[in-house]
Amino acid sequence: MARRAGPTPVPIPGAGAPHAVAPGGMAPGGAAPPATARAPRHPWFAAARRILLVAAIAFVLGGLTSWGQLVLPPETASLANSAGGWTVPTAILVLLLARGYPEAAVAGAGGFVALTLGYAVASGWRGIAFDPTTWAIIGALAGPVIGCAAHAMRRRGMQLVLGTSVLAGVLVGEGVYGLTVVADTTSGVWWWIELVLGAGVLVAGALRARPWGLALVALTGTLLVAGLFWSAFVLLPILVFRG
């Protein structure tokens, strides 16, 4: 007499061929069933980590700026007391690490503020009182602009032109300021270096600009930003440190 067959298993849609599972949830051969894939982390977690990395490195560089005023030779001592000396490392950090304009803006602001705080801490260790409030506010306002300009250097078209104009304009503007306003009290070596760096940024951006007419826009924007920067630095001591 034939044995009655048991109920036919019903396949699960999308499950493919049925697999036998041993008692206790073990697959044949004693292998454990595949583990459930871990949910990916939120993209903001990675962004926050990159921003914190920019701020941490900037804090160290700010402290080195204070110590640099002691050890740098007189010809390059202005590097440790210039906006360009902080703009360059902040822009490089944002250029390398930031992903997108919002992240670049926050990283730029955080980088500049961290530079100021690092400078204040190192100056305090040296026995020099330095109130970071004013420059931290300035950095919080200017940092997003520098951060977005640095990130724009990775793009094309008008975005590249605007980023080039801002970064090159800041360096050229401060270089001209150093050679015309504070030339009697500082060495001109660093100011000339800033001019060369600014010209290098302008050339690098202009060579990548398409169509070629955008190169002229980059040059015009650089001269405009440089003029505004020069005027701001001339007026800043009057507005901030008067009285």
- Return the structure tokens found at 237: 């001591």
From CA 146, how far away is CA 226, in angstroms rounded? 14
Residue whose C-alpha is closest to residue 215's, from 180, 164, 179:
164
Q: Would you state the pLDDT for residue 11?
A: 53
Per the CB < 8 A criterion, the answer to whether 151 and 163 are in contact is yes
From CA 100, how far away is CA 150, in angstroms rounded? 11
Residue whose C-alpha is closest to residue 81's, from 193, 217, 186, 158:
186
Q: Would you state the pLDDT for residue 236?
A: 72
pLDDT in tens, the chain (243 residues): 445 555 555 555 544 444 444 454 455 555 555 555 565 567 788 999 999 999 999 999 999 888 877 777 777 777 777 888 889 999 999 999 999 999 999 999 999 999 999 999 998 998 888 888 888 998 899 999 999 999 999 999 999 999 999 999 999 999 999 999 888 888 888 899 999 999 999 999 999 998 889 999 999 999 999 999 999 888 876 655 554
Q: How many CA atoms lie within 13 A of 141 on its CB side?
A: 5
Q: How many CB atoms lie within 10 A of CB 96?
A: 12
Q: Would you state the pLDDT for residue 21?
A: 47
Output the CA–CA distances (angstroms, integers) from residue 173 to 29, 199, 233, in the order listed. Answer: 73, 11, 9
Residue whose C-alpha is closest to residue 218's, from 156, 142, 151, 145:
156
From CA 99, how far away is CA 102, in angstroms rounded? 8
- Return the structure tokens found at 81: 């007391």
Q: Would you state the pLDDT for residue 65?
A: 84
Whole-prediction pTM = 0.77
Residue whose C-alpha is closest to residue 205's, from 148, 167, 238, 176:
167
